[in-house]
C-alpha cells in the first residue's frame, strides 16, 4: 500500500466509501422493516386482546389440527427382473417399471405373467 500512488489509493478509498454507504443503507432498511413488522405484530396482538382472544389460544387452535395418518405401505403384487438382472417387486402403484412395460409392449407377456 505504501508503494501505491496517491491517485490509486484515492480511487480505492472512494470505492470502499461507496460500498460502506450501500451496506449502511441496507442495514438501515432491514432494521426499519423489522421495526415495522414488530409494530404490525403489536397492533394485531392488541386487536386480539381487544376482541377478547388470547394470542396463545389462537396458536393452540392452529396447532391442534390432527396430522394426516400415514398409511401402511402396500404389499408387492408383481415381481420382475430389471435390466441389471436383479429381482424387483412393484405394488402396481405409480409408473410401470421399464422392464414390465417393455415386455408388455413387445407382446411376449401380459401383466398377469408378473403377478406374485
**Domain chopping of the chain, boundaries:** 6-63, 78-114
* pLDDT, mean of residues 41-66: 83
Query: What does the pLDDT look like over 21-36, one tens digit per residue?
Result: 999 999 999 999 999 9
For the CA atoms of 100, 106, 108, 110, the dihedral, rounded to the nearest 10 degrees, stands at 50
CATH topology for 78-114 is H-NS DNA Binding Protein (4.10.430)
The per-residue DSSP string of 29-72 comes to HHHHHHHHHHHHHHHHHHHHHHTT--HHHHHHHHHTSPPPPPPP
Cβ neighbourhood burial of 111 (10 Å; 0-12, 13-18, 19+) = middle
Residue 62 above 80 pLDDT? no
Amino acid at each position: 500500500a505504501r508503494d501505491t500512488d496517491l491517485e490509486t489509493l484515492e480511487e480505492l478509498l472512494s470505492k470502499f466509501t461507496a460500498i460502506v454507504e450501500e451496506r449502511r443503507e441496507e442495514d438501515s432498511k432491514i432494521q426499519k422493516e423489522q421495526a415495522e413488522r414488530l409494530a404490525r405484530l403489536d397492533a394485531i396482538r392488541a386487536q386480539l386482546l381487544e376482541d377478547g382472544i388470547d394470542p396463545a389460544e389462537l396458536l393452540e387452535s392452529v396447532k391442534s389440527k390432527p396430522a394426516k395418518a400415514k398409511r401402511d405401505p402396500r404389499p408387492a403384487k408383481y415381481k420382475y427382473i430389471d435390466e441389471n438382472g436383479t429381482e424387483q417387486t412393484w405394488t402396481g402403484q405409480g409408473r410401470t417399471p421399464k422392464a414390465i412395460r417393455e415386455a408388455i409392449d413387445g407382446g411376449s407377456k401380459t401383466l398377469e405373467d408378473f403377478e406374485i
